Structures are given as C-alpha cells and as structure tokens.
Amino acid sequence: MGLLGRLLWTLGTACVVTVGATGAADQQVFSVPLDASGSCTMFWRVDYARRTLQVEIHAVLPERAWFAVGFSDYGEPSPADYCVLWQDWRGRTRLQDSWAEGGRLRVEGRQHCKDFRHTRVGNVTKFTYSRLFDTCDPHDYVIEDGTTHVVWATGAGPLFRLDGVSLLGEGTRRGMQRAQLLKNTNVDEGVPADAWTLDVRAARVQVPAVDTTYWCHVAKVPRQLARKHHVVKYEATVQHGNEGLVHHMEVFHCEAPVKEQVPLYRGPCFAATRPDATKVCKRVLAAWAMGAKPFVYPKEAGLPIGGAEFNPYIMLEVHYNNPENKSDWVDSSGIRLTLSPTLRPHDGGVMELGLEYTDKMAIPPGQPRFQLTGFCIAECTEVGIPVGGVRVFGSQLHTHLTGVRVVTKHVRGGRELPELNRDNHYSTHFQEIRRLKRHVQVLPGDALITTCTYDSRPRPNVTLGGHAITDEMCVNYIHYFPKVDLEVCKSSVSDASLQAYFRLLHELDGQATGPHLGVSDNYKTVDWTPVRAHVLSSLYAESPLAMQCNRSSGARFPGDWSAMPSTSILQPLPAPGRHCANLHHQDHDHDHDLDDDAGPEHPDAGGLMEDWGQGDTMKWETNGPN
C-alpha cells in the first residue's frame, strides 16, 4: 500500500470534519451518502499528480455480504464498472475488479482496484482501494471532470466465486448517487470575519397545484445595504422535506432608478396580475439549482450589492416542479447570501451563454444524442467586453430533463482554446455551480460556443425550447470578474431561416407546416423521422443566428443582430490525451505480484486500525444514520 493509502486509512477517522477544511490540498477527504438512510457512505480523495482516486466505503452490512461500488454513465446498474468486496467459502475477503453486463458481474482479466484494505467495526464493513482516473482498460469507466454517477449493490454472501453474480436479483439492494469526484481542491471556503448573512426567502408559499410554477417574491434589502457590499458566498436554504419540489432558484436585482419603489409582488411570475413594474427585476445576482453546494467567490472578487446607486429591491424566483399537481405543498425555501462590507479588488458578474429561451429551437422525439448549440459570437464580445477582458472562475451548466452532456468551447481568431467547461455525464438533477480549476481569460472578439446533447428517446413528441420543465434549455451561467455590461450572449436560429424551413418542409416533404401556424405548432405538426431530424440538425448548423447580445439593463447592444454568422472553428483543439502510454511503466511494480485479484488483505490488529474504528464510531453517533 502506498503512502496515500496509509494517509487515507488514518484520515478515515476524521472524514466528515475534514470536508471543506482548508488543509493542504492533497489532504482533503470528500464524502457523499450513497443511500437515503445513511447506512452507506463513500469517502474519497483525489491525487491529481498520480491521476488516482482513493475510495473508502463504510457500509452497515450483514456478516459476509458482498458490496459492489463503481461507476456508470448515467446511474444505470448495468452496464457499469465495479470494484467488489466479497468473502469466499474459506472466509477469505477479496476485492475484485468487475464490470456488469446484462445485470451480472464479470471479473476483469486485469485488476485495477488496488491498495485494498478492509475491516469490520460492529456491523459496519469498511474498505478502501485506489484506482487510476483512466485505467486504459476498455471495460473500465474513465473518471472525468464533471458529474460522475456512483453506483452500488450489495447482497448476501459468502460466494464461491464472483463471476456471474446478479446485481438485479431478489435480495440485492442497490442504488446510485451523483458526485463531482474530481473536485477543485484549491477553493478557500473561508469568509471574511465581518461578513453577515441575508436570507432571501419565499414566505410560506402555497404552491399551486400545477406541474410547473415560477414563483416571484419581491423584497426590499435591509438598510445596511445603503453601503456597498460584496456577496462572497451564497447557498440554498431549501425547506426540509421539499428537496424534490424546489428545482431551481435565482435572485435578481430590480434595475430601476435608486428612488423608485418596486411593488412587493408575491405570486406566479407569469400571472397576468404581476405588476409590470416588477419586470425590471431581471439582473441575476445568484443562481442555484438542485444539487448545488454553496458557491464561494475567489478572494479577488465579490458580487456587488447595495450602495448609493443601488435600487434596494431584489426578487427571488423559485421554480417549483410539482408533476403530481399536489395542492398541499407549502414552501419557504430561498437563498442565503453572505455579505462582506470590506470590498474586494473586483466586482464579479454573471453572464448567460447558450441558447435563447425560445420555442424556435426544438429536439425531435426518439433521438439518442441530438445536439443544440448556442453561440456567444465574436461580434458580441467585441462590443460587450472591454480591452483587458474578463476572468471566468465559475460555471453552472443548465438544461432540463433530457440534457445528458454540455460543453462550452472557447475560440479566439478561429483557433480553439482549452474548453471553458464540459460535463460528459450531465444530469439536470445535479446542477452545481462549479469553481473552474483554472481561471479562463475571455477577450473581446473571443467566441464561446455552448453545445448541449439531449436524449429524447423516451419522448413521443417534439421537445421545444422554453421555460417549463418538460421544455428544454441550453445555458451556461458563467461567473467572472471584473463585471462588464454584457449580460446575455445567447443565440437561436434566425427567424427567416426557420420560416423558410417550415415552408420547404411543406412544399418538398408534404408536411402540414407553413406560415399559417406559429412556431410551436409548426414543430408539433411534423411527423418526425430520423431523416427529418437530421435535416433539422443541418438547418441549425448552417443557418444564420438571431443573437441576444444584451446589456445588464435588458436592452440589446446597438445594431441588427437578427441574422449573424456563427463563429467557426478553423483550428480545433486536439483530442485530450488519455495518459495511457505511461500506464505500464507506472504499474510495473504492482503487476508481478498480483494473481487474479487485489486480495486477500488481512486487517492489521492494532495501531491505525484502532484509531480508524474509534473515529468511525464517533462519526456514526454524531452524524448518522440520518
């Protein structure tokens, strides 16, 4: 076992306490509960230098039970890549690298679950192992930046062999949890000593008995904000029990003259009774979506709030997702802002990239991987970003239910630069605002191209762009400093191209489309086939763009943005290297002493083990199961 293994073994005692602590980067241990009852927890640590993940599982299990933990693309139990702890008939405890196919475990030829150790304290089985991010084995999952779906399964033992064991059988418990495994270990979570918190919360909202509600709640900020502050951190305060109801929340500033009063409207955002005077509440201050952890600003910047020129009204918008149309939801969720009167060197801002929220963009049904792309074109950053540029430090990717992958590419003068953000295993249920591992400088004339991939196989009908949870979006909210006037840099297909397409679809392909129908109805009337889906995809790729190149005030930058060319990538970025060439060299020491698995390992009698056990007991008494 390497040094890292021993460290984790020791640190296992203090896992929960260690999370978020500001210790040396490679000492950070993260954790996530694997099931709702808290009876199993995964701890992990990331070693970027060795491109290795150290995993430790604590699970309440019957004696001799087997436990499989691993990864799959979107949380399916099979196909998936597992490391499995199990006991054979001779009482030997083993850890084997396996993959699942057709719901059954298959044992790998080459073993990549390494540095195995295990113990049992009371009814808790604990084991640890390490694994390369990319083992270069075709059966193994590659751990990447972004979302990882951790899958697990457990059943009764002992077993005479692991190969062929069913993951789906009766008596097998299993589950899935999403986590960002390759955490940014350089985030300082500290806030200044003089910081205070402001809760922006809806007050006992009687959630309407419809599937989608955007609830608007206008509030006036306290007097202390007559002086300018910086928001240095914010997080959600979701009412206990309503975690599944509250889909996303945003806090907006009401961009009105400082003396102007804004009505304290509390009601559905799209209601006819919403006063027009609240429509100015649209400058994003904070955005949270399901699954996101607290967002902490880098020490160079904070989000400005308050001051002599600041209209004191803000608005919370809560997206309630109530698919069962329940009438008895009452909710007081909101966002907690941490504010510092000591200003940092720069004001931070939020910019929206991607697709305009419009039914002009659509996803045909039955498509395994349909892509929509939203452009922030060179012409828009040219006018919207001053010389000197901005530094992007955070990003929140956003789609609704069918989104499975999101990437934002960065182009300068036709040459593609390293990607701004990518999530190959995106889930709408895990929209963290993530601090980027490197700040990205964006200069005037750069283009940022956001592509979302959708899986519309479960949909019988076309999915339109729009606000409802059953509609789709493709957005990247980027967090940057210093703040500039450009707030929305998004596109959609130009109106003229779309109208021409509907006309041609009628004339050449016999569809009932045409100018007599609105955009939504045109899309809905098409009888979607793979060929028609392909043609739509080409239309989007080749048509000019309608650009939303808007200032914070909501007004467009001057000019005609209705039919702009999309920015093309003349020199694409080479595909990322897989670090596979060095693998044999790195592995050489281990290879010759492995038989067919990483076990058996026998628990040590004392020392570290005792420490570990006591720490665990303490943890379970104070933290779980909950």
Site for ligand NAG in 549-568 (CB under 6 A): 550, 554-556
CB 270 within 8 A of CB 208: no
Task: Let me know if 144 is exposed, middle or buried by CB neighbors in 10 A (0-12, 13-18, 19+).
Answer: middle
Q: Does 324 bind ligand NAG (CB under 6 A)?
A: yes
Whether the CA torsion 299, 301, 307, 308 is positive or negative: it is positive
Nearer CB in complex with ligand NAG: 290/351: 351
Site for ligand NAG in 52-91 (CB under 6 A): 60
Nearer CB in complex with ligand NAG: 373/550: 550
Spatial CA neighbour of 449 closest among 424, 413, 421: 421
Q: How far is the CB of 410 from ligand NAG (least distance, A)?
A: 22
Q: How far is the CB of 382 from ligand NAG (least distance, A)?
A: 17
Q: Does 450 bind ligand NAG (CB under 6 A)?
A: no
Q: How far is the CB of 325 from ligand NAG (least distance, A)?
A: 4
Q: Residue-wise over 2-36: b if at least 16 C-beta within 10 A, else e?
A: bebbebbbebbbebbebeeeeeeeeebbbbebbbe
Nearer CB in complex with ligand NAG: 122/607: 122
Nearer CB in complex with ligand NAG: 52/373: 373
Site for ligand NAG in 202-231 (CB under 6 A): 210-211
Q: Does 548 bind ligand NAG (CB under 6 A)?
A: yes
Distance (Å, whole) CA 482 – CA 302? 9
Q: For residue 111, what are the contacts with CB-CB under 8 A and spacing of at least 6?
A: 96, 97, 594, 596, 597, 598
Q: For residue 31, what are the contacts with CB-CB under 8 A and spacing of at least 6?
A: 15, 16, 19, 41, 42, 43, 44
Nearer CB in complex with ligand NAG: 73/255: 255
Q: Which of 91, 109, 257, 460 binds ligand NAG (CB under 6 A)?
A: 460
Q: Which of 109, 272, 325, 560 binds ligand NAG (CB under 6 A)?
A: 325
**Amino acid at position 115, single letter:** D
Nearer CB in complex with ligand NAG: 184/470: 470
Write down the residue that tokens 């901005």 correspond to.
390
Site for ligand NAG in 461-520 (CB under 6 A): 461, 488
Q: Residue-wise over 101-126: b if at least 16 C-beta within 10 A, else e?
A: eeebbbbbeebbbbbbbbbebeebbb
Q: Which of 22, 27, 37, 123 binds ligand NAG (CB under 6 A)?
A: 123
Q: How far is the CB of 113 from ligand NAG (least distance, A)?
A: 26
Q: How far is the CB of 467 from ligand NAG (least distance, A)?
A: 12
CB 596 within 8 A of CB 98: no
Spatial CA neighbour of 566 closest among 538, 545, 537: 545
**Amino acid at position 355, single letter:** L
Nearer CB in complex with ligand NAG: 387/555: 555
Annotated active-site residue in 398, 410, 425, 506: 398
Spatial CA neighbour of 310 closest among 253, 271, 246: 253
Q: How far is the CB of 548 from ligand NAG (least distance, A)?
A: 5
* DSSP reduced 3-state for 181: coil
* DSSP reduced 3-state for 531: helix
Annotated active-site residue in 74, 139, 214, 439: 214
Task: Let me know if 184 is exposed, middle or buried by CB neighbors in 10 A (0-12, 13-18, 19+).
Answer: middle
Distance (Å, whole) CA 57 – CA 615? 14
Q: How far is the CB of 351 from ligand NAG (least distance, A)?
A: 11
Q: How far is the CB of 187 from ligand NAG (least distance, A)?
A: 30
How many of the chain's residues bind ligand NAG (CB under 6 A)? 15
CA angle 28, 33, 38 (to 5 degrees): 130
Write down the residue that tokens 């600003």 correspond to.
297
CB 508 within 8 A of CB 532: no
Nearer CB in complex with ligand NAG: 171/460: 460
Q: How far is the CB of 354 from ligand NAG (least distance, A)?
A: 11
Task: Let me know if 173 is exposed, middle or buried by CB neighbors in 10 A (0-12, 13-18, 19+).
Answer: middle
Binding mask 359-398 for ligand NAG (x = CB under 6 A): ----------------------------------------
The reply to whether 297 belongs to the active site is no
**Amino acid at position 265, single letter:** Y
Count CB atoms within 10 A of the CB of residue 616: 19
Nearer CB in complex with ligand NAG: 436/486: 486
Distance (Å, whole) CA 266 – CA 599? 61
Nearer CB in complex with ligand NAG: 593/621: 621
Q: Which of 23, 102, 122, 413 binds ligand NAG (CB under 6 A)?
A: 122
Q: Does 328 bind ligand NAG (CB under 6 A)?
A: no
Q: Does 622 bind ligand NAG (CB under 6 A)?
A: no
The reply to whether 265 belongs to the active site is no
Q: For residue 86, what are the contacts with CB-CB under 8 A and spacing of at least 6?
A: 66, 67, 93, 94, 96, 157, 158, 159, 162
Q: How far is the CB of 527 from ligand NAG (least distance, A)?
A: 11
Nearer CB in complex with ligand NAG: 311/548: 548
Q: How far is the CB of 516 from ligand NAG (least distance, A)?
A: 18
Distance (Å, whole) CA 299 – CA 189? 10
Active-site residues, by number, are 214, 398
User: Can you give the binding site for ligand NAG, defined by CB under 6 A?
Assistant: 60, 122-123, 210-211, 324-325, 460-461, 488, 548, 550, 554-556
